[in-house]
Structure 1
Amino acid sequence: MIPAVTDPDNNEILKSLGCDLHIHVLPGIDDGAQNLNDSLALVDAHYRAGIRKIIATPHIRMDFFVNTQESIHNAWLRLTEITREQYPDLVIAYAAEYFADDYFLTLLDKREILPLAGNYVLVETSLRHDLVYFGDIIREMILKGYQPVIAHPERYKAWHNNPERYNEIYELGVIFQINLLSIGGAYGPTEQIMAERLIQQGWIGALGSDLHRVSQYKYIKQAVENPYFKSLRDLKLLNHTLLSD
């Protein structure tokens, strides 16, 4: 299976990052890559960009994506059977992006969690509504020994007009992970401005692409030209920690 031809201008533009810890690259299990060709196109684009570790993070959400450790592992096997030969120096691991709800609490109680590595767990909340119990779930994660990594806080529209919500969640002891797509303008100016504001405040501890399809790579190219991305290159991000794990 041959990956799609990617833009040669992508060469090593993400080398300083090295690891992508939020990407929907596994084939056919969520709203990301729909088949192996889609997956390989994403992998190839990332490899050319200088990424040498990919942590696949398919959604786990009871009302939309009822993935399990088994379904994720099987999708990972399908992909890595090909990539380990084509990209021998590329590590592809898997975790999950959890939606913070009652089902997630059940998984926490059962210790059936797929972390990014160690105790780092990627978790998201509603993009549209401020779910008042989100803070309680974060506290429960921490109580059980997990380090919450909050996926794309810049995209939570209900928080945009309530900056205290960012303060409240950040002060719980979480890691904020923003999307490269946000910095590149993929979701619009509001999300980009919020991402840049969080960078200015020094609150960003991780970057993820959150890529779902290779056509989004044009926004990755725009992101790396953004001065705010360049300001993150000298920071010790979670990406760098996990790259060396």
Structure 2
Amino acid sequence: MIDIHSHIIFGIDDGSKDEVMSLKMLQKAVASGTTSIFATSHLLKAAHYPGWQDFLVGAERLRQLASEHNLPLAIYSGCEVFMDWDLLDIIAENGSFCLNGDAWDAARASYILVELPMYFIPNYADDFWYELRLKGVVPILAHPERYTELMTKPDLLLRWRREGLLLQCNIGSFAGSFGAHAEQAAKLLLANGLVDFVGSDAHRDSGRDTDMRAGAAVIRELAGEAALQQLTQINPQRIIDGTPLKVKAPQKLIAREKKSKWWNRLFK
């Protein structure tokens, strides 16, 4: 499996606390079947943010750790960019803050992982996606299933989708690790073909860690082995290779099952 979202660089955000924890996270990833992982530390709105070089140095240290401990794990650079208008000026220049951005080439497709504020949608969101596309990068929305407001606005989500937005769900959401609402929303997105990638979104060496097996088992049960391979191997390999990924968008979201009042509200 390829994990496109993790916070395994130590000492740079709210993820891994130190080198020992990062090593344990890498070891757990390998033990659970992950062959490649993206180190996507937060780039947040702040007066003083880490530079792209800081992220690259952190990812390189992880590669050294993996090599020193004989871990067969490829580690790729990247970032989880907070949707903040002021950050547009510094991202995506020559691959900065993009997934696998240190392998940037103008002839390759570039992807960038973006997170929304957790409890609201910025009024400039449409323009933010547009500006990213002008920069020549394909935006990937991190864990859409966790944004309650967005999941109650399926028309907005589908419009963004038709405009080229890709979606990454946290694989733990399928197994209930992020709560019942996120689990139901992730399954809804999967049933409608709206999940392109999954990631652990790991922040620790236990609990919210790099083991993706529980969520993978649920995806396999719901959608089959071929769909699991698409999300955990085929699509993320396109990020690594710098090749385009075709976007599919249904006309509307269709509920496969309705288990709660919250679920039903999505279709009013």
Would the alpha carbon gap of residues 39 and 172 (structure 1) be closer, same or farther in structure 2, given more than 3 Å must change?
Answer: same
Match of 1:154 among 138, 145, 154: 145
Would the alpha carbon gap of residues 109 and 21 (structure 1) be closer, same or farther in structure 2, given more than 3 Å must change?
Answer: closer
Percent identical: 25
For 2:48 and 2:175, the matched residues in 1 are separated by 27
Q: Secondary structure at 2:86's aligned position in 1?
A: helix
Residue 89 in structure 1 maps to residue 80 in structure 2: no
TM-score, reference length from structure 2:
0.77
For 1:186 and 1:56, the matched residues in 2 are separated by 21
Contact 1:21 1:208 in 2 (8 A): yes
Q: Which residue of 1 aligns with 2:222?
A: 228
Q: Secondary structure at 1:122's aligned position in 2?
A: strand
What amino acid is the match of 1:96?
A: C
Contact 2:114 2:141 in 1 (8 A): yes
Question: 1:195 offset after TM fit, Å?
Answer: 0.6
Question: 1:50 offset after TM fit, Å?
Answer: 1.6
Q: Secondary structure at 2:155's aligned position in 1?
A: helix
5 Å-filtered alignment, 1:3-152, equals: 18-63=1-46, 66-87=49-70, 89-108=72-91, 113-117=96-100, 118-152=109-143
Would the alpha carbon gap of residues 20 and 220 (structure 1) be closer, same or farther in structure 2, given more than 3 Å must change?
Answer: closer
Match of 2:238 among 238, 241, 244: 241
For 2:26 and 2:47, the matched residues in 1 are separated by 25
For 1:217 and 1:95, the matched residues in 2 are separated by 18
TM-score, reference length from structure 1:
0.84
Question: 1:79 offset after TM fit, Å?
Answer: 2.4
For 1:218 and 1:71, the matched residues in 2 are separated by 22
What amino acid is the match of 1:32?
A: G
Q: Secondary structure at 2:90's aligned position in 1?
A: helix
Contact 1:183 1:229 in 2 (8 A): no
Flag as ranges the 4+ runs of structure 1 deviating above 6 A. Answer: none
For 1:31 and 1:153, the matched residues in 2 are separated by 20
What amino acid is the match of 2:198?
A: L
